[in-house]
Amino acid sequence: MLLLVINSYLLGSIPFAYITTRLFKNVDIRMIGSKNVGTTNVMKNIGIVPGIITAIGDASKGILAVLLGDYLMTGGGLLGLLIAVIGHNWPVWLGFYGGGGLATMIGGLLLVSKWWVILILIGIWGLTFLIMKKHDESAIVACIFSPFVFAYFHASWEYFLFGLMAGLLIGIRRFFSIKTNKKLFEIKKVA
């Protein structure tokens, strides 16, 4: 299990947003836009192609973590995915400041969940976004619903706990992103 935790964390810690941004524009993604080390910030501030490359890289981390988890221990895919999201959100290589974990989570979910369950969660996020017009806040709403959606459609306490942990990991990063964006808005307002 220790091997799974270490390898999944290091895999999740690969900062594709940071690497892609350096390659395309030679800037630090943590210094521009929302300062988030993730796909959305890259897409908005660096471009669509770098954003797509980042999304594929981040999703691949989730897929590989599930495969690694299942290889190293029976039923280890869910744990591997959660640890990879921790690595993505708090990467050792960037001083524990990473992205939001959504692309990594979706990549891994492609292997451990039913595809339409992923669409339901994305639908909850999308509908909430249409109403609220706020990216991070709507993601938090989807995080709150995720344990119940997983439990209902997978009829499993294991998936409920997975959804709860996944929701917490992604929700915590979104909460800090909201705080960062609020500070950036206040600084711009003063200037």
Q: What single string gives the DSSP state of each residue in 30-68?
A: GGSTT---SHHHHHHHT-HHHHHHHHHHHHHHHHHHHHH
Encoded amino acid at 138, one letter: S
**Amino acid at position 27, single letter:** V
Report the first-to-last Cα separation within the chain, whole angstroms: 51
For residue 189, what pLDDT band results from cuts at 50, 70 and 90?
low
- The 10s digit of each residue's pLDDT in 108-152 is 999 999 889 999 999 998 998 999 888 778 888 888 899 999 999
Closest CA to 100 of 188, 145, 27, 41: 41
Where along the chain do its domains lie?
Answer: 1-112, 114-191
Instruction: Tell me the whole-structure pTM to 2 decimals.
Output: 0.87
Kind and range of the H or E element at 96?
none
pLDDT in tens, 144-178: 899 999 999 988 899 899 999 998 888 888 787 77
**Contact by Cβ (8 Å): 174, 182:** no
How high is the mean pLDDT of the chain? 89
Percentage of the chain exceeding pLDDT 90:
58
pLDDT attached to residue 18: 96
